[in-house]
Structure 1
Amino acid sequence: MTIPTLTLNDGHTIPQLGFGVFKVDPAETERIVLDALDAGYRHIDTAAIYGNEEGVGRAIAASGIPRDELFVTTKLWNDRQGGDEPLAAIDESLDRLGLDHVDLYLVHWPAPKNGDYVNAWEKLVAIRETGKTRSIGVSNHLPAHLTEIVQATGVTPAVDQIELHPAYQQRETVAFAGSHGILIEAWGPLGQGKYDLFGTPAVAAAAAAHGKTPAQTVLRWHLQKGNIVFPKSNSPARVRENLDVFDFELTPAEIAAIDVLDPGDGSGRVGSHPNDVS
């Protein structure tokens, strides 16, 4: 099985399907990430605030997989955005991961009330120049935030990792990103179980038509929309199931039926608004 890759605006490539470790117990992270690597995942998404970078690092070391076959992302937390703090924070993350570089380093939230996200982006540009990360991007940034950091630095993020699932598709941010060559990474791609996504007729019908689970159907929707996606699960069976999404294709009508699950008024959001996180 070959996981498709997408090309970032800096020329590097990224596996379109990866494995996320948000809310994965640090004590269980090594085992769970090893299960994912054994299943065939090669893209791992973590963050300093998750508290499990050490477990990710141990799993990478134990896997025996060559470093150049892996894509590792981590993120700068909000309280490290000021001054030279990002320069120290990347070193700390690399130490916990046991790596000399990550493939992608993200500003986790704009945290506009703190007033440091432009500085954080300037420092990520500098970090990329040191080779401690190959690519740089952001998470949870809206068009206004993206506009400001690009105007300040002349450097466009490679990705914007945002909450995105059928009930909340962030069309304005997605369109802005697309027009600026920024790829979208979807967090909470299955809605985090906070609404009955799998019971909707559009998802259930498509799943039945293709002999797939509702989760596989929604992941396939993301892939065909061009999103980078990294579902998480603590279950080895589910970890493998989430990878089994490359042997079918949703029809245009099935895609359209899932597209209309977003009412367009923002009511489908299950996480925090970027302007409210600090």
Structure 2
Amino acid sequence: MNIPSTTLNNGVEMPLLGLGVNTPRQNNEVQSSIEWALEAGCRLIDTAAAYGNEREVADAIRSSGIPRSDIFITTKVWNEDQGYNRTIRAFNRSLERLGIDVVDLYLIHWPIKEHRHDTWRALEKIYSQGKARAIGVSNHYPAHLDELLTKAQVIPAVNQIELSPYSYLPDILAYHRQKNIQTEGYAPLVRGQKQNDPRLVELAEKHGKSTYQVLIRWSLQHGVVTIPKSVKRERIQENFDVLDFVLSEEDMALLDTFYDNTRIADDPRNIP
């Protein structure tokens, strides 16, 4: 499987479809899911210090036999580690747990008001030292980015936000395009909450696909890097089997109307 990629604002290539990993519920869950994803053609793994599984990510990549250079690894600095010096220390701990010298993408996990500029300054330092191929943010909305950009020397390459048709805010994607920031969407499957939406079911039946595959395809066709999570082998394989169909303009327009602000995570618009 040849998963398409996007070129970030600094020229780095990033796969458009990957695997999001979260806090493991049982032993080997994360490692197994990554191994299955890599077998399915995945080459983008999204983790975070807060998930507590960076070592499992490293173990899975090692056991896969796939060259490190072929895999795009993202991790993030957690809220309590923000601030210039603490971020530098947290980043070095992440590198140690991941067993790598360079991370492909390092993100600020959430916009913590009192630390935003110092944390970003730390990411710029990490980037200037070549320890991260790209840097960006997560859960930042235009007001947060506007503030960050008043002092930033480097434009974030990526903003990772919760994104599905049910949380779709077109103005945010337009803002990213204007600023040349790549949108990355997490929770595209809304943790299964919408799998029985009759409108979604009808679209899935029309294309002979699952509702989950339609949700992933919608995100990809918006040009969004998409990172569905799963720990089930069949579901992981299904999530990557989305490159053989296309949603029509009418399908996309319909899905774009599904917004009801259903979210898995907190709404960043409530963060000052």
- TM-score, length basis structure 1: 0.93
2:234 corresponds to which of 234, 237, 256:
237
Deviates more, 1:77-86 or 1:2-11: 77-86
Distance 2:263 2:233 in 1: 28
Secondary structure of the structure 2 residue equivalent to 1:162? strand
Cα RMSD (Å) of the superposition? 1.6
* Alignment correspondent of 1:23: 23
* Alignment correspondent of 1:198: 195
* Alignment correspondent of 1:215: 212
Q: For structure 2, which runs of at least 5 residues remain unmatched after alignment?
A: none
Q: Tell me, yes or no, if the aligned pair for 2:157 and 2:182 is still in contact at 8 Å.
A: yes
Distance 1:6 1:176 in 2: 18
CA-CA distance at 1:37 after TM superposition: 1.1
CA-CA distance at 1:178 after TM superposition: 1.3
Secondary structure of the structure 2 residue equivalent to 1:248? coil
User: Does residue 1:176 correspond to 2:170, yes or no?
Assistant: no
Distance 1:176 1:268 in 2: 21
CA-CA distance at 1:276 after TM superposition: 5.6
Deviations 1:94-118 (A, max 9, x none): 1001111110000000022xx0011
Distance 2:166 2:268 in 1: 17
User: Does residue 1:141 correspond to 2:140, yes or no?
Assistant: yes
CA-CA distance at 1:171 after TM superposition: 2.5
Q: Tell me, yes or no, if the aligned pair for 1:24 and 1:234 is still in contact at 8 Å.
A: no
* Alignment correspondent of 2:51: 50
Q: Tell me, yes or no, if the aligned pair for 1:189 and 1:219 is still in contact at 8 Å.
A: yes
Q: Tell me, yes or no, if the aligned pair for 1:111 and 1:276 is still in contact at 8 Å.
A: no
Secondary structure of the structure 2 residue equivalent to 1:133? coil
Q: For structure 1, which runs of at least 5 residues remain unmatched after alignment?
A: none
Secondary structure of the structure 2 residue equivalent to 1:9? coil
1:1-278 maps to which residues of 2 (within 5 A)?
1-25=1-25, 27-28=27-28, 29-112=30-113, 115-193=114-192, 195=193, 197-263=194-260, 267-274=261-268
Identity %: 42
CA-CA distance at 1:207 after TM superposition: 0.9
Q: Tell me, yes or no, if the aligned pair for 1:219 and 1:245 is still in contact at 8 Å.
A: yes
Total equivalences in the alignment: 271
Distance 2:269 2:50 in 1: 18
